A and B are shown apart, each in its own frame.
Chain A
Amino acid sequence: MNAESRSRAPIFPHQHLLGIDVLSPQDISALLDLADKYVELNREIEKKQSLLRGRTQINLFFEASTRTQSSFELAGKRLGADVMNMSVTSSSIKKGETVLDTAMTLNAMHPDLLIVRHHAAGAVELLSQKVNCAVVNAGDGSHEHPTQALLDALTIRRRKGRLEGLIVAICGDILHSRVARSNILLLQAMGARVRIIAPSTLLPSAADRLGVEVFTNMADGLEDCDIVMMLRLQLERMNGSFVPSTREYFHMFGLDEEKLARAKPDALVMHPGPMNRGIEIDSLVADGLRSVIYEQVEMGVAVRMAVLDALSRNLPGGGNAP
């Protein structure tokens, strides 16, 4: 397959990808369809494209990340962009430079694509108002992480052939999770039935307003599920602050074979990584036959290539519509 031979007609009616909340089902499907093609490309020996040749992509990470940053880096490079990684450590934030200062500084370097992760909800949107390039939200605080939701959807769709009508259980730290928020929005938009499972300390107080089924008992929540999505529990939220201990959390909410038996026999197990083995997920399950955790990583690169492709078509000089 040759991506360059495809029409470069616009397929995505947004300048940025800031969150799932503003996307229509058509937008989501268009990105997933495009990503499907990149999955195939990535499995070939010759992976390099020249679609983004001459484009500059800056990965601006205010929060440390290995997987997401390398996934975006690889996606950009495979499409031929010049990719620069910029990690803004907390120490340089303390020097007084604000997120807007950083945005204006980078904007002056004329990037075409800016991939941003920030620890504050809304920070990426704020930044996007100040730059001329396309901005991708790579995670903003507890708000959204749209490419994660897209890659999860791609993984599910390729395995199950659809999203509509599936029962998806999202388990763990819903309160602080941008992954959960984006996934809930996307899955609901695509017609899946979403459940969330967590102790009440890790649920938003208005969880009942999300339009999802809420469970505080893992076994009940997993009953007849098609998909089990586990979330990472951050270290600082263990040991007495939100849950009493890691062993109690594993006992009550850790995904093991016994709890998973309540889900459908062909249920898939997912995790955005990095995993805390023995805390939210048992190794037997993480490495088991139903786990698609590494497939998610593969889909991640393809989805991000699709996002970069789609957004670049809307940049000046980006569209080659016939």
Chain B
Amino acid sequence: MTPTLTQPAAGQRMVLHNARLLDPAAGRDETGGVLVEDGTIADIGGHITGDTGAGHANAIDCGGKLVIPGLVDMRVFTGEPGHEHRETLASASEAAAAGGVTTFCCMPDTEPVIDDIALVDFIRRRARDTALVRVHPMAALTKGLRGEEMTEFGLLKEAGAVAVTDGRNCVANARVLRRAMAYARDCGVLVVQHTEEPDLAEGGVMNEGEVSMRLGLSGIPSAAEVMMLERDIRLVELTGARYHAAHISCLASLNRIRRAKEKGLPVTCGVSINHVALNENDIGPYRTFFKVSPPLRGEDDRRAMVEGLADGSIDVIVSDHDPQDPDTKRRPFTEAAFGANGLETLLPAALSLVHNEEMPLARLIETVTSAPARLLGLEGGTLAPGKPADIVLIDPHTPWIVTPGELRSRSKNTPFEDRQFEGRVELTIVAGRIVYRGDEAG
């Protein structure tokens, strides 16, 4: 068995210097360096220079480039167990490392479903033995993801599940979700929901509107998302559970989240990178790599998502990494699977918002680092002394073109094929160990 990669690298020292240190959680944006010892951040600041690094075996001159905390991705599907040909925890972790993601949550939609402590334990052990980055399972909210009976929240949490969710499924039965939420509150478990009224969405393959009409495809109205979110927020009022809408996609949902937050309810939400970087017009001539759930909406909704992120109404960006193989994607649009590859392109795609002046850099970094870490109760997401040395070095201006064949994920279903990005990860460090080194990094 390969060594345990994400355990602290004991006895090792590393100095990253001559960097622009950006750590939104600590309010830090300065030129300086980071000193890493035993897998944790020992010191950080303007006083750490090349001299601090002198004599260290591992001194890295960052050339003035950007050093940020490693990304935390709350929504990643792998194929392990059950569909390893699409993705394993190991291959997902390689994609994550190359994308600057040092921690991700894997979804329970596997075969078998992660609805039992033995499976949570399995995921954690497999991740410990094979993955380059930190992996935290989210467990199923209901047994078998069937939406009928709640799982053992207390035991699952103790086993290491960071939240409960039915993944791609929405818990449609209000009575079931009400009881699950009430119980989750007692256990202090975060409830994560894909909000979509299944009957209204049934048969739909893209956003309902002019584009779906012209393509002759069945649509999913955004109302299907909003009404389920509204119902869930009522249940939060009823139960007091901590609730997170996994990925909203439209302005009406955003406004509903804003009202809930104004009322002080324990409600948060995420948005997938697809819904901030793409819109339904990208589907063009039935391109199935743009078939995602929730569906890509119009440009007005996309802009609303960006504004919601900028003003803090939307808490986090997720990759919604969902590897699919040619068997499930090279089909007529109606028959193709939902889902887009995303771990490796999350940060570059997100940086395009900064380059387009749609969002300040510090806020963007917060939404993929400290904000998700805080929601999940994890230690990472910041560069403060004493915290895990999960660090990413990026050149935010390196131009590159996405070539699916070069992606580390086992599946190549990226909606960003041939897209020109500006900004690329050069170095990814997890627990003080270098897990990814780009071509140009020292």
Contacts and interface: CB of A to CB of B under 8 A. Distances in A.
Interface string A205-220: 1110110000000000
A232 interface: no
A99 interface: yes
Nearest to A141: B216
A178 B217 CA distance: 11
B290 interface: no
A199 interface: no
A121 B333 contact: yes
Given A99-B331, A122-B332, A144 B216 contact: yes
B185 interface: no
B28 to A, nearest CB: 48
B54 interface: no
A120 B332 contact: yes
B216 A140 contact: yes
Contact of A125 (B212, B285, B331, B334): B285
Nearest to A99: B332
Interface string A77-118: 000000000000000000000111000000000000000001
B210 A123 contact: no
B210 A143 contact: no
B349 to A, nearest CB: 26
B219 interface: yes
A122 B219 contact: no
Contacts of A178: 216
A259 B259 CA distance: 51
A142 interface: yes
Contacts of A122: 215-217, 285-286, 332-334
B330 interface: yes
Interface residues of B, number: 21
Given A144-B216, A205-B208, A123 B221 contact: no
B331 A207 contact: no
A206 B334 CA distance: 19
A186 to B, nearest CB: 14
A210 B331 CA distance: 28
B175 to A, nearest CB: 27
A126 interface: yes
Interface string B205-222: 000111011111111010
B209 A142 contact: no
Contact of A141 (B208, B213, B334): B334
B210 A209 contact: yes
Contacts of A144: 216
A204 interface: yes
A138 to B, nearest CB: 14
A181 B216 contact: yes
B213 A206 contact: yes
Contact of B332 (A21, A118, A204): A118
Contacts of B335: 120
A310 B221 CA distance: 41
A98 B214 CA distance: 24
Contacts of B331: 98-100, 126
Nearest to A181: B216
B376 to A, nearest CB: 38
Contact of A143 (B209, B216, B221): B216
Nearest to A206: B210
6 contacts: A98-B330, A100-B331, A120-B332, A122-B216, A206-B213, A209-B213
Given A141-B217, A181-B214, A210-B213, 19 more contacts: A98-B330, A98-B331, A99-B331, A99-B332, A121-B215, A121-B216, A122-B333, A122-B334, A125-B285, A126-B331, A142-B216, A143-B216, A178-B216, A205-B219, A206-B212, A207-B213, A209-B209, A209-B210, A209-B213
Interface of A: 21, 98-100, 118, 120-123, 125-126, 140-144, 178, 181, 204-207, 209-210
